[in-house]
Structure 1
Amino acid sequence: MAATSSLHIAMYPWFAFGHLVPYLQIANKLAKKGHKISFFVPSKTHLKLQPFNHFPHLITFLPITVPHVDGLPQAAETTADVSHPSQFSHIMTAMDLTQPQIKRLLQDLQPHFIFFDFTFWMPKLASQLGITSIYYSVISATTFGYIYTPSRQLCGHDLTEADFMQPPPKYPISTIKLHAHEAKNIASMGRMKFGSDVLFSLRHFTGLCESDAIAFKSCREIEGPCVDYLISELKKPVLLSGPDGDIQQPTTALEHRWAEWLSGFNAGSVIYCAFGSECYLTKDQLHELVLGFELSNLPFFAALKPPLGVESVGAALPEGFEQRVHGRGVVYGGWVQQQLILEHPSIGCFVTHCGAGSLSEALVKKCQLVLLPHVGDHIFRARTMSSHLKVGVEVEKREEDGFFTKESVCKAVKTVMDEENETGKAIRENREKLRELFLDEELEESYINNFIHDLQVLIA
């Protein structure tokens, strides 16, 4: 295939906005270069993604009917439509049941590639149809290197907390270490059935091993050693689409009520907090979080889902809290335009769960990072940002159970927001250097050009 030949790429990411949005970001990058994208998306969900489609003549949303599965609310399509993490597995089951629809679409479209992540059955289906399958991962290379290498997954026994307290043989980054509660959580997740009676770990490992190639939304400047480690472990091509400096802004404006509220504060003074569609806090932890914001004496805007077992986020707030923070603090339970909020000049600090999409959006902005990961990949991204690159501060947690306090939340916020804090000064300097790297248009351009070239080589 000639270097200038147009590619046709189908995409089918996991039904969570932390995956859908990054897939649309790479779709926009590829479309900008003239390549055609067929984006498979739940039928109602595409309306939320449409404002971020900057090349509608090249990126086509193809609606997928999501079958109803017992245990899900009627018309649930994504993880944002359910009220408990235990229901994510049902969303996965529903996604697995769309396989006949995907097969028909791929037969009709005959794209060069299918980009996928959680649908472990995709490589075999694509192979039957003569389509090249790319495991395009929103999960980091650092995480996959630690958890999903053959030396780990084919060890001959069920992986335990003790196994995950140690990195696999020859793992290249010594600063990536897990706490006991994190290792326990990762071991438990690996043994969990996740859709269609498939173990969570086997779902990922199968997709990695059976795909024609693996791709990461990453760059060597951040994950180079782990990329090389995966190449040596998995014996297949690993492609990198590069940093996300060119995060396309949505075509809509920030909702007036939030724009007006944020404009009432000084530049760089507001804490913004959001944990994505898949993260649920207990009521006790939500209390500690918002009380930590109150303790900081800084204005704050928190977009949070209700805790487990509570109907609304307002009903979960500490007694008297709303009265005490009136005028300087908002806790909102609905969906917000995160990119536009992070862009607002009053935002000085982002308290994040370290989802891939959220970090990509934040790293090109001027806000400082407070890292509060909860599960899986988020933990490794937090450790990369805090311990390896030293561009953010993690909220301290108890070793045995991961519980955090209002004091630890306040301490982390103050570290990055207090201009006189020496640790904070070093972090802010590193943070600005990383931001400049992500905004380097030549670097980003070279990555996407190389990515497209590597795709073309795969089907030459």
Structure 2
Amino acid sequence: MDGGDPTKTHLVLVPLMEQGHMIPMADLALLLATRGARVSFITTPVNARRLRATADRAVEAGLPLRLVELPFPCAEAGLPQGCENVDLVPSLDLFHSFFHCLYLLAGPLKQFLLQNVEPRNSPTCIIADQCLPWTATVAAELSIPRLIFHGPSCFFLLCTLLVTRHKLHEKVADEDEIFAVPELSQTIQVNKRQSLRFFQWPGFEDFLCQIETADDTADGFVLNTFYEMEPWCIDDYRSAVGKEVWPIGPVSLCHKDANSKAVRGNGDAAVDHGGVIEWLDAREPRSVLFVSFGSVASTSPQQLMEIGAALEATGWPFVWAVKTAEQSSEVEEWATEFKQRNQGRGMVMKGWVQQLLILSHPALGGFMTHCGWNSTLEAVAAGVPMVTWPHFADQFLNEKLVVEVLRTGVAVRVKPPEVYQAGELVEREVVERAMERVMGGGEEGEEMRVRARELGEKAMKAVEEGGSSYDSLGKLISRASELSRISAWEPGFS
């Protein structure tokens, strides 16, 4: 196989079935197909419906990308029928069952690789989410090279790796005791809950060990970030893991027009994105605050009301995304009065929102976010400063990257909660102060906004031809082809 010819490269992408992981891998699929590589995107029927509009647009544009639907054996794992995404898991008690079900996809994936691939276009390489360690076994059995797609920031990956290597969690007894992450070029102080790796939770010990083993056998790591934002993190992480690392983001910038941004991640949702865009069009540039905490984090009714009171007090125009699960009778009654009081000044959107479309609008002046990496990086790419309010997992270290390293955001400074649980109630005055520092804030606010805009410009240049991420993507494709030649895999071998 010619490493210089991407059209002879066939990459098989296997995402974790969770919106925050699946969406950036779908963007990566588009980027790879745009560069001429053939891409098979592994998914399940429910998730395929969410991605269908994006895939159809790719096919219409002549891109060599296809969705491959594998059956998701919910019944075998004791899950409700159709429970094919993390955001559809009805309770924390079923999380173990969901991840067990993911392991059951190994057989169907192997059959696809063996039987449904033309000999002239055999798989070059698997790119799998880090949270799917069972793909290592499939790749090894078929002698297919395997790269890992990392969803979080490189800052998070580096910090948690160093904390683990120095066994700091074993040396620190108190959950709230502050310690410095060792070996960093900048002093970053954390506690145990802020520096947990994914699945470093009670009951997931075996799964975490499997992830670590799969990392050790991978041929390299693909990161949704860009070099100009995390240069020392990327350099230090590459040295620490001793493997090739390709920063190829922000992958969200592959969506150039409004229609592409609108269908990203949930193309089957009946959302009229035109309404919010028309509303934003009538606002002054950089005057609107957008509030959204992603698809998983939960906000209590009391906290929603405190956020609403803070929004009212600031006087800034706002767009506020409230999840369907948060709309209790108590919230509905309060929300009705809240909307009446703020008619014309604010927009409250229920359910799924087209976040990328909103963030990229020139009226956006600030973004209150849970600091999920996709949301964080999308705000960076749009040049929008942030009010940071992490809830769990990598979000606490993402906040530190934004606030302490990049200095493009202000922390609400809530105490880290237990995993996936609501934290302590933050009063409206605290929330309001953070909002005001980002949206107004005098000299401090203006300097923050300038840094955010400059970083957004660097993000755009990184993905353009000749940019760092553009070049890194080309090197990834070439390396995948080179690894495939070394492996010399042929269909039918097992």
* TM-score above 0.5: yes
Unaligned runs of 5+ in 2: 263-271, 418-422, 486-494
1:433 maps to 2:433: no
Q: Which residue of 1 aligns with 2:123?
A: 111
Change (3 A) 1:261 1:451: same
* Alpha-carbon shift at residue 138 of structure 1 (Å): 0.9
Instruction: Note the aligned Cα RMSD (angstroms).
Output: 3.2
Question: Which residue of the other structure, out of 182, 186, 191, is the alignment partner of 2:194?
Answer: 182
Can you list the C-alpha shifts for 1:307-335, whole angstroms capped at 9, x where unaligned? Answer: 67x64794385794333323333333311
Unaligned runs of 5+ in 1: none
Q: Given residue 25 of structure 2, which amino acid in structure 1 is its aligned partner?
A: Y
Question: Which residue of the other structure, out of 51, 54, 65, is the alignment partner of 1:52?
Answer: 54
1:404 maps to 2:426: yes
TM-score with structure 2 setting the length: 0.81
Alignment of 1:58-69 (within 5 A): 58-68=64-74
Can you list the C-alpha shifts for 1:189-239, whole angstroms capped at 9, x where unaligned? Answer: 513335xxx545335323322322222112332223333333333332222
Q: Which residue of 1 aligns with 2:484?
A: 459
Q: Which residue of 1 aligns with 2:265?
A: none
- Give the structure, 1 or 2, with the largest relative contact order (CA under 8 Å, sep 6 or more): 2
Q: Which residue of 1 aligns with 2:268?
A: none
Alignment of 1:321-336 (within 5 A): 321-336=338-353
SS of corresponding position for 1:349 = strand
Aligned mates of 2:330, 2:40 — CA distance in 1: 37
Q: Which residue of 1 aligns with 2:138?
A: 125
Q: Which residue of 2 aligns with 1:90?
A: 97
Question: Which residue of the other structure, out of 25, 37, 40, is the alignment partner of 2:39?
Answer: 37
Q: Given residue 315 of structure 1, which amino acid in structure 2 is its aligned partner?
A: E
Q: Which residue of 2 aligns with 1:146?
A: 159
Query: Contact (CA 8 Å) 1:282, 1:307: kept in 2 or not?
Result: no
Can you list the C-alpha shifts for 1:50-106, whole angstroms capped at 9, x where unaligned? Answer: 333453241100112222256744312112324545544433232222221112112
1:27 maps to 2:34: no
Q: How many residues are aligned here?
A: 452
* Alpha-carbon shift at residue 126 of structure 1 (Å): 0.5
1:413 maps to 2:435: yes
Aligned mates of 1:333, 1:91 — CA distance in 2: 27
1:226 maps to 2:233: yes
Aligned mates of 2:95, 2:235 — CA distance in 1: 32
* Alpha-carbon shift at residue 156 of structure 1 (Å): 10
Q: Which residue of 2 aligns with 1:251?
A: 260
Q: Given residue 361 of structure 2, which amino acid in structure 1 is its aligned partner?
A: H
Q: Which residue of 1 aligns with 2:489?
A: none
* Alpha-carbon shift at residue 15 of structure 1 (Å): 0.9
Can you list the C-alpha shifts for 1:361-419, whole angstroms capped at 9, x where unaligned? Answer: 2222243322221112122222111100112222222478665332222222211211x
* Alpha-carbon shift at residue 306 of structure 1 (Å): 4.9
Structure 1 range deviating more: 421-430 or 86-95:
86-95
Q: Given residue 67 of structure 1, which amino acid in structure 2 is its aligned partner?
A: P
1:193 maps to 2:203: yes
1:369 maps to 2:375: no
Change (3 A) 1:92 1:384: same
Aligned mates of 1:240, 1:52 — CA distance in 2: 23
Can you list the C-alpha shifts for 1:350-369, whole angstroms capped at 9, x where unaligned? Answer: 21112222223222224332
Aligned mates of 2:80, 2:334 — CA distance in 1: 26
Aligned mates of 1:294, 1:213 — CA distance in 2: 48
Change (3 A) 1:402 1:448: farther
1:450 maps to 2:475: yes
SS of corresponding position for 2:253 = coil
* More helix per residue: 2
